[in-house]
């Protein structure tokens, strides 16, 4: 995406988003979920979306940088929080449903926005980023409080 012209870059993004959704669906359907997959799949999702937003923001000047940085902040929090949970609790947290919905929506909204220029497609993305951030934050706090309670006894 970094080196392609706009039509090829957006086509590649759409192809990657569809194959990622298919991969996740098949992994759940065939019960092929692993701890490694719990880490790599969301990492691949985040990488795809952040690169796409970076390219559309800075190379093609089609999207405001606030969406990129909102998602980057949320994803860094998720990555650091998940790593801390793994180090302190010893398990890899599964992706949260609101996080999956946010990723799916942004993957849907990006092509529709850049092809239509209707900002209406982007507003729900900001709301979902914020709500999913709160969901991950509450999960993180709840998980840490379980750790502290268990170590106090």
pLDDT in tens, 96-141: 999 999 999 999 999 999 999 999 999 999 999 999 999 999 999 9
**What pTM did the predictor assign?**
0.86
The predicted structure's pLDDT at residue 24: 79
The predicted structure's pLDDT at residue 15: 95
Instruction: State how far the Cα of 45 lies from the Cα of 28, in Å rounded to an integer.
Output: 16
The predicted structure's pLDDT at residue 53: 96
Only one residue has tokens 């909102």, namely 70
SS3 of 49, please?
helix
pLDDT in tens, 56-104: 999 999 999 999 999 999 999 999 999 999 999 888 888 899 999 999 9
Instruction: State how far the Cα of 152 lies from the Cα of 45, in Å rounded to an integer.
Output: 37
The predicted structure's pLDDT at residue 148: 54
Higher pLDDT, 95 or 24: 95
Are the beta carbons of 125 and 105 closer than 8 angstroms? yes
Query: Per-domain residue ranges for the chain?
Result: 6-152
Residue 11 has pLDDT above 60, yes or no: yes
The predicted structure's pLDDT at residue 147: 56
SS3 of 96, please?
coil
Residue 35 has pLDDT above 80, yes or no: no
Instruction: State how far the Cα of 79 lies from the Cα of 89, in Å rounded to an integer.
Output: 15
């Amino acid at each position: 995406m970094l080196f392609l012209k706009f039509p090829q870059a957006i086509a590649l993004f759409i192809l990657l988003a569809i194959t990622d959704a298919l991969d996740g669906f098949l992994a759940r359907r065939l019960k092929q979920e692993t701890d490694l997959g719990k880490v790599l799949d969301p990492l691949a999702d985040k990488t795809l979306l952040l690169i796409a937003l970076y390219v559309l923001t800075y190379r093609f000047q089609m999207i405001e940088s606030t969406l990129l940085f909102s998602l980057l902040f949320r994803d860094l929090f998720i990555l650091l929080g998940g790593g801390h949970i793994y180090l302190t609790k010893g398990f890899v947290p599964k992706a949260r449903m609101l996080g999956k919905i946010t990723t799916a929506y942004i993957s849907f909204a990006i092509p529709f926005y850049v092809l239509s220029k209707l900002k209406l497609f982007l507003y729900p993305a900001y709301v979902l980023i914020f709500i999913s951030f709160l969901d991950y934050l509450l999960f993180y706090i709840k998980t840490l409080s379980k750790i502290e309670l268990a170590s106090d006894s």
